[in-house]
Amino acid sequence: MSLDASEVKKIAHLARLAIDEADVPRYASNLSDILSLVEQMNRVDTHGVVPMAHPLDMNQRLRPDEVSETVERDRYQAIAPAVENGLYLVPKVIE
Amino acid sequence: MHDKSIRELADSLRAGEFSSEELTRHFLDRIERHDGGLNSFITVCAEEALEAARVADQRLRAGEGGALTGIPMAHKDIFCTAGVRTSCGSRMLDNFVAPYDATVTERLKAAGAVMLGKTNMDEFAMGSSNETSYYGPVRNPWNTHTVPGGSSGGSAVAVAARLAPFATGTDTGGSIRQPASLCGITGLKPTYGRVSRWGMIAFASSLDQGGPMTRTAEDAALVLQAMAGFDPRDSTCVDREVPDYHSALENDISGLTIGLPKEFFAEGMDEGVARVVEAAIGEYRRLGAEVKEISLPNSGLSVPAYYVVAPAECSSNLSRFDGVRFGHRCEEPKDLEDLYKRSRGEGFGAEVKRRIMIGTYALSAGYYDAYYLKAQQIRRLISDDFRRAFQEVDVIMGPTSPGVAFRLGEKSDDPVSMYLSDIYTIAVNLAGLPGISIPAGFSDGLPVGLQIIGDYFQEGRLLNVAHRFQQATDWHRQAPEGYA
């Protein structure tokens, strides 16, 4: 599998990553190398093998539905880039 | 003072030979003197450390506390530390002062350990050489032209250069064991779920596991004792009793069955590494162990499967870094998409971007079955190989890393060759098993680690097997020249 420049740009867009135009060929070549490595997986037939999502095959643990956390908005917003009146500020989304 | 083990330091503190404050000053002085050339620390917390040491001294004087009370240490900069910058080796979190402590941080603090600072690491733990850090590469004290391994390279160097008696690390594909091997120290990756991941910045959630990096197996037992245990805040943390690791150290290992996977000793193996590992296995025979050849037929597929699972999980985990709630934000975004893209584009380095893109691609519409599902199936096959092996043998041994420390820059332009540094460690993460690397000798003047893999929750057995080796050998006592 080899990726071309337009595919790299599409993936970067999906991942919301700005990458320099000048770096695109290098990413295309690196990512293609990685995908070739990954495709060695096709050497083995995995038909009927149950995929392993958790090393110990554990199920999600349940807990009693009780209040356990308190609101600490001010403390957490102290490290935010831009806040006002308890709200996070971002560029205008709706014109 | 700096050459003593945790056990020896704890005895000296109790005997009043020196105080924790004196000990802490000693290590802070060493960091000041030596770390300029090594770059193993991102942040040093001198004031906080001395204050914590004074508190520990009060506890010690009152006859309170345990084995770690008053012992200086360092945290990999992936563990959140309240009030102290937690950068994860990234520009993205260069301004991130954690608002809370990770469970591991909290537990070691409660045990009375004194945090000297936060250690350097590959950005977001993605790397095997500690060259992807925003704060610059870390240098190996055995030869400063070589890498320390990664991603817990700063922690490995801090311990190897005697800048801290112990450090924490995390291991997603070998990030504790490989740097431990390259720096000549002991590093244990516990069973998945043994140590809480809460407050440990996530890379690949189904693989990440924190563990101790120390000079001796005995020290690793003492540190793991404090780190391990159930935590309701981590939904994958296992609710299972933590055994007394220290009391199992002296157990007899005669009759122990060691499995040697033929795939780990295949043709083309580095000669120096092979010689050291074979000699270490010879030592185990002398200690009464039996050796048996085994096969892990699918282990060769561990690196390919890992480079789907880990990037897929990382692309999802790292989507939280968006320039909105914390971390780096670009200047003057023109709209929301621009804010996301430029904040992430500026905040992440090239290796992190590569992995996010691979993961995004593998999870994108139409590719899920061919990549992610296939990788999870291979993961099952790898795990089944180990299950079968542990019906025949008690532990599995082999090299930790295919070679000794390589030169800075040697692999940094070739991601695939870098990824193959973890060829012997990754299968253990995919299966969720515990593994330890211990110093076993030298090749070309650089340390070689022996990897010992155990069945689920057999950390006590691994530490016991490692400790018996360390009683019979002195590889773990070797210090790099200039740091003894």
How far, in Å, CA of B350 to CA of A34, rounded?
A: 14
pLDDT of residue B214: 98
**Interchain pair A38, B344: CB under 8 A:** no
Task: Check: CB of residue B112 under 8 Å from CB of residue B31.
Answer: no
Instruction: Determine the average pLDDT of the residues in B188-199.
Output: 98
Q: Catalytic residue at B151?
A: yes
**Interchain pair A53, B206: CB under 8 A:** yes
pLDDT digits (tens, 9 = 90+) for B363-379: 998 999 999 999 999 99
Name the catalytic one among B151, B152, B196, B302: B151
Residues of A in contact with B238 (CB under 8 A): 56, 58
Task: Check: CB of residue B218 under 8 Å from CB of residue B182.
Answer: no
CB of B236 within 8 Å of a chain A CB? The answer is yes
Higher pLDDT, B197 or A67: B197
pLDDT of residue A68: 84
B contact test, residue of A1, A47, A52, A93 with most B CBs within 10 A: A52
pLDDT of residue B372: 95
Chain A and chain B share a number of CB contacts under 8 A equal to: 167
pLDDT of residue A53: 83
Residues of B in contact with A66 (CB under 8 A): none
Q: Catalytic residue at B175?
A: yes
Task: Check: CB of residue B146 under 8 Å from CB of residue B408.
Answer: yes
pLDDT digits (tens, 9 = 90+) for B69-98: 999 999 999 999 999 999 999 999 999 999
- Interface list for B 128-187 with A (CB within 8 A): none
Please report, rounded to a whole number, the percentage of residues in chain B having pLDDT higher than 90: 98
CB of A74 within 8 Å of a chain B CB? The answer is no
CATH at B121:
3.90.1300.10
Helices (H) and strands (E) in chain B, counts: 15, 11
How far, in Å, CA of B214 to CA of B31, rounded?
A: 17
* Residue B49's pLDDT band (cuts 50, 70, 90): very high
Residue A28, by phi and psi: left (phi above 0), alpha (psi -120 to 50) or beta?
A: alpha
Taking CA–CA distances from B456, the nearest residue in chain A reads A56
Indicate whether B110 pLDDT > 80: yes
pLDDT of residue A55: 80
Shortest CA gap B452–chain A (Å): 19
How far, in Å, CA of B428 to CA of B453, rounded?
A: 8
Indicate whether B334 pLDDT > 90: yes
Q: Closest Cα to residue B207, out of B468, B430, B460?
A: B430
Torsion of CA B182, B116, B85, A85, to 10 degrees: 150
Out of A8, A38, A76, the one facing B307 most closely (by C-beta) is: A38
Out of A51, A55, A78, the one facing B432 most closely (by C-beta) is: A55
Residues of B in contact with A46 (CB under 8 A): 374, 377-378, 381
Shortest CA gap A94–chain B (Å): 10
Indicate whether B391 pLDDT > 90: yes
Strands annotated E in A2-93: 83-84, 87-88
**Full residue range of the structural domain in which residue B275 is found:** 1-484
- Interface list for B 240-299 with A (CB within 8 A): 298
Residues of B in contact with A52 (CB under 8 A): 376-377, 379-380, 383
Torsion of CA B178, B118, B125, B277, to 10 degrees: 0
Average pLDDT, chain B: 97
Give the Å distances, CA to CA, from B153 to B41, B129, B422: 10, 7, 14
Strands annotated E in B185-325: 186-189, 210-214, 257-261, 290-294
Task: Report the range of poorest mean pLDDT among A30-39, A58-67, B49-58, B461-470.
Answer: A58-67
Strands annotated E in B407-484: 435-443, 446-453
Indicate whether B45 pLDDT > 80: yes
Domain range A5-43, its CATH number among 1.10.150, 1.10.20, 1.20.58, 1.10.3470: 1.10.20
Out of A11, A53, A80, the one facing B360 most closely (by C-beta) is: A11
Residues of A in contact with B419 (CB under 8 A): 34, 37
Please report, rounded to a whole number, the percentage of residues in chain B having pLDDT higher than 70: 100
Task: Check: CB of residue B94 under 8 Å from CB of residue B135.
Answer: no
Task: Check: CB of residue B178 under 8 Å from CB of residue B437.
Answer: yes
The tally of domains found in chain B comes to: 1
Residues of B in contact with A90 (CB under 8 A): 324, 333, 336, 339
Q: Closest Cα to residue B302, out of A52, A30, A48?
A: A52
How far, in Å, CA of B294 to CA of B170, rounded?
A: 28
- Residue B67: which residues within 8 A CB-CB, separation 6 or more? B6, B7, B10, B111, B222, B225, B246
| CA-based torsion, B412, B188, B185, B111: positive or negative | positive
Torsion of CA B127, B131, B136, B141, to 10 degrees: 110
**Interchain pair A55, B340: CB under 8 A:** no
Out of A12, A37, A80, the one facing B325 most closely (by C-beta) is: A80
Instruction: Determine the average pLDDT of the residues in B441-446.
Output: 97
Indicate whether A59 pLDDT > 90: no
Instruction: Determine the average pLDDT of the residues in B209-237.
Output: 97
Taking CA–CA distances from A79, the nearest residue in chain B reads B326
Q: Tell me the backbone φ, ψ of residue B228, rounded to 5 degrees.
A: -80, 155
Indicate whether A1 pLDDT > 90: no
**Interchain pair A31, B315: CB under 8 A:** no
Task: Report the range of poorest mean pLDDT among A66-75, B152-161, B339-348, B447-456.
Answer: A66-75
CB of A18 within 8 Å of a chain B CB? The answer is yes
Name the catalytic one among B20, B76, B128, B411: B76
Out of B238, B375, B414, the one facing A56 most closely (by C-beta) is: B238
Task: Report the range of poorest mean pLDDT among B168-172, B235-239, B454-458, B461-465.
Answer: B235-239
Name the catalytic one among B5, B20, B90, B175: B175
Residues of A in contact with B456 (CB under 8 A): 56
List the domain boundaries for chain A.
5-43
Instruction: Determine the average pLDDT of the residues in B459-476.
Output: 98
How far, in Å, CA of B35 to CA of B44, rounded?
A: 10
Indicate whether A56 pLDDT > 90: no
Shortest CA gap B19–chain A (Å): 36
Report helix, strand and coil shares of chain A as percent, to nearest 5. 40, 5, 55
* Residue B268's pLDDT band (cuts 50, 70, 90): confident
How far, in Å, CA of B244 to CA of B479, rounded?
A: 29
Give the Å distances, CA to CA, from A48 to A44, A45, B297, B377, B383: 12, 9, 18, 9, 16
For β-strands A83-84 and B167-170, DSSP reports them as unpaired
H or E element, residue A35: helix A24-38
Q: Catalytic residue at B319?
A: no
The half-sphere exposure of B228 on its side-chain side, counting CA atoms within 13 A, is: 28
* Residue B438's pLDDT band (cuts 50, 70, 90): very high
